[in-house]
Amino acid sequence: MRLDRFLAETTPLSRSQAKKALAQGEVTLDGDVVKQAASQVADDARVAWRGERLMLVGLRYVMLHKPAGVECSARRGLYARAVDLIDLPKAERLHPVGRLDVDTTGLVLLSDDGQWAHRVTSPRRGCPKTYRANLGRPLAGEALANAVAAFREGILLDGETTPTRPAELKSLGPQDVRLTIHEGRYHQVRRMFAAIGNHVAALHRETVGPLTLGDLPEGGWRELTEAEVAAF
């Protein structure tokens, strides 16, 4: 790996800033000041910037309990970003693995491992995701039975040409339901209930694949275990 890239991956410096730091003699490689950006860094090399030893950050896998008012976006906008809640080095390199809209709470995965993220989100794998929804109108009796059947068979969402994959709907109360889907279309849960003449007042994602939030508090996060990463 080039030395300027190594600095960019282990410090707050950009590649151009790393080159300036090198030119100013702020960087040592195995104890010697090095100013050449193209110098190669061996796996066992000791690199220091302003006297502080630098270590490469490996791939990270994080679970976040996303609060409302936080968006899953790489760009800064009107709302706080999910990645801003993660206190890890180079946290800005983490990307949401499947998004929730700004008003939806619950389980969000973030990682800088693109291949793993693809495994989790690939439509072919059909990773199950379970949501708890509070509905704007009661859903019970015959209407509930019809909704359960429609979601199980798949419904055609507005503006789409293929029906949704079979989904499992369970009633928890007159306006409280749990829905498990196996794909991730844009605003899918909200659009599914709109398709049957209801609407979602509040939405919370409880699970992604084998992972659940457990006792993780709202706004809290933790890194996944090796077993949890391998489960996908």
pLDDT digits (tens, 9 = 90+) for 152-210: 999 999 999 999 999 999 999 999 999 999 999 999 999 999 999 999 999 999 999 99
**Pairing assessment for the beta strands 47-49 and 27-29 based on DSSP bridges:** antiparallel
pLDDT in tens, 14-68: 899 999 999 999 999 999 999 999 999 998 899 999 999 998 878 999 999 999 9
pLDDT over 90 at 87, yes or no: yes
**Pairing assessment for the beta strands 80-81 and 70-71 based on DSSP bridges:** parallel
166 and 113 in a common domain: no
Give pLDDT, residue 195: 96
**Torsion sign (Cα): 102, 108, 113, 118:** negative
Task: Give the CA diameter of the chain.
Answer: 77
**Within a domain: 191:** yes
227 exposed, middle or buried (CB, 10 Å; 0-12, 13-18, 19+)? Answer: exposed
140 and 80 in a common domain: no
199 and 145 in a common domain: yes
Residue 30 annotated to the active site? no
Give pLDDT, residue 74: 79
pTM comes to 0.82
Out of 101, 112, 113, 215, pick the active-site residue.
101
**Within a domain: 202:** yes
223 and 111 in a common domain: yes
- Which range marks the domain in which residue 20 is found? 3-54
Q: Are 94 and 112 within 8 A, CB to CB?
A: yes
**Within a domain: 40:** yes
